[in-house]
Amino acid sequence: MIKNTLLSEQAIKEFLRPLLFGVADADLAELARAAVVQSLPANTTICHEGERGNAVYAIAEGQVDILKRMDAKNERLLGQRGPGSFFGEMAILQDGTRTATVRTAQPTLLLKIDRESFLNVLNRSPSLAIRLLVPLADRLREADRKAITELRQANQELTHALQQLKQLDQAKGSFIQVAAHELRTPIAALSGYAQMIQNDLTAQESPFLRPLADGILTTTQRLQRIFNDILDVSKIINAKLQIHRNLWSMTVILKRVVETFSTAMAERRLTWQQTGIAALPPYPGDPKLLYKAFYHLVNNAIKYTPDGGVIKVRGQLTTDSQLGAALEITIEDNGIGIAKEDLELIFEKFYHIGEIAFHSSGTTKFKGGGAGLGLTIARGIIESHGGRIWAESHGYDEERCPGSRFIIRLPLSEKARRL
Ligand code: ADP
């Protein structure tokens, strides 16, 4: 405990006089009468953040910490106050709650003046208002300065971290690209050997070797597809995708896609419904790349729609707010759908929703596996044609199957295509 030096009203008045310089004698006397002296040990909480303010405090001796709650466990020290300073006046002036917690940092001698007496004197005494406002303004300015310094520092740290992340991402990207490139050759050789075994008469008649050769071939083909996808993505990221434009009919491109997946769709009893595509004008795009983009979108529609579902493909001419006159193709399924928060993220490379371990290994099986690159490739291709692609869905639900819709818009005007 600290020794009480404020033993009489007169002593309190004399303590307040230099602090509230200019305040009339009668007002000082009233404040002194209303004041209650408190001698507190260290670590005593005087005001709680969020509580209604019902008193103003003046420190005679000792020190208090001003603390702000950051989360359930942590507090942040905003500042300290020592002898001669006031605290707690802000909540009274605003008639609101405490914006910080105040706790004694050491044994402290305080004057506590209740809200009503304080406001009474304040109403009569402009000098008291000025005495209180000046340090308050200083404190606000100081808090402002501190916040700006901290923000600048945090900004610098974030920029630095972002730079490091970009470098790491680049290093990771280059590694994946080199690895995919290097692994393509041995995998092509593996696939060649498997084909040789398949073509061998003895192997064809062997119930042991045939399924082995078939298995190796299917797996290597899958690996080849993944490596090709990785190389496509790295071209997209490095803006090295080359477009060879030619006038092409969308009907022809989509027909090739349907042919690719016809066996899978029959196996999964999926219906393909196409409207408006034949009426679209020929489009000056890269047929190979556009095939790839639609390949991935249709592959996804198949993968994420349960057996017996419907895939609807619609074509129309439209006016896009950014692209102007555009060709619009919508691929819609009645599958498991996509949660609102994932609608944009799914276009990120390697992004999967949920546990990858749950994906089966077949690319056209319900929820079959994939490297998480299909939509990155599709967006890269559409954007390199100057177009836009986005996803819409009423949410993810494997029971109700709200379905997903992917909208592709390709600009028709030459100017927009070059953007
Ligand atoms: P993946 O190889 O995993 O299919 P994609 O880039 O093609 O990678 O898709 C990313 C994720 O977006 C998928 O893992 C899936 O969760 C979700 N997705 C894509 N298309 C659909 C769709 N038609 N219906 C539901 N979810 C989809």
49-95, pLDDT tens digit by residue? 999 989 999 999 999 999 999 888 899 898 899 999 999 988 888 88
Q: Which residue has the tokens 């909208």?
A: 407
- The CB of 291 under 6 Å from ligand 1? The reply is no
94-103, 189-198, 213-222, 346-355: range with lowest mean pLDDT: 346-355
Sequential DSSP letters for 114-145: EHHHHHHHHHH-HHHHHHHHHHHHHHHHHHHH
What separation, in Å, do the N-terminal and C-terminal C-alpha atoms of the chain show? 75
CA contacts within 13 A on the Cβ side of 309: 27
How far apart are the C-alpha atoms of 255 and 165, rounded to whole Å?
42
Residue nearest to atom 13 of ligand 1 (CA): 352
Using most ligand atoms within 8 A of CB, pick from 304, 313, 361, 405 the residue to mutate for ligand 1.
Answer: 304
Distance 411 CA to ligand 1 centre (A): 25
Q: Do strands 246-248 and 45-47 pair parallel, antiparallel, or not at all (unpaired)?
A: unpaired
Residue nearest to atom 1 of ligand 1 (CA): 372
6 band by pLDDT with thresholds 50, 70 and 90: confident
Distance 284 CA to ligand 1 centre (A): 28
**Closest ligand 1 atom to 354 CA:** 16
Distance 375 CA to ligand 1 centre (A): 7
User: Mean pLDDT, to the nearest integer, of 248-268?
Assistant: 96
> Which residues does 20 contact at the CB level (< 8 Å), separation at least 6?
28, 31, 127, 128, 131
Sequential DSSP letters for 315-370: EEEEEETTTEEEEEEEEEE-SS---GGGTTGGGSTT--SS-GGGSBS-SSSTTB--
- The CB of 335 under 6 Å from ligand 1? The reply is yes
Q: Are 336 and 304 in contact (CB under 8 A)?
A: yes
User: Mean pLDDT, to the nearest integer, of 336-353?
Assistant: 90
Task: To the nearest 10°, report the CA torsion of 395, 396, 398, 403.
Answer: 50
**Residue 4, SS3 per DSSP:** coil
How far apart are the C-alpha atoms of 96 and 330, rounded to whole Å?
55
Q: Which of these, 109, 120, 66, 63, lies nearest to 88 by C-alpha position? A: 66
User: Mean pLDDT, to the nearest integer, of 291-316?
Assistant: 96
**Closest ligand 1 atom to 349 CA:** 6
- Amino acid code (one letter) for 278: A
Pair of tokens at residue 325: 């006159």
Distance 301 CA to ligand 1 centre (A): 8
pTM for this entry: 0.66
Sequential DSSP letters for 198-249: HH-HHHHH-TTHHHHHHHHHHHHHHHHHHHHHHHHHHHHHTT------EEE-
Whole-number pLDDT of residue 299: 95
Q: Rounded to 5 degrees, what are φ and ψ at 5? A: -100, -5
Percent of the chain with pLDDT over 70: 96
Residue 113 DSSP class: E
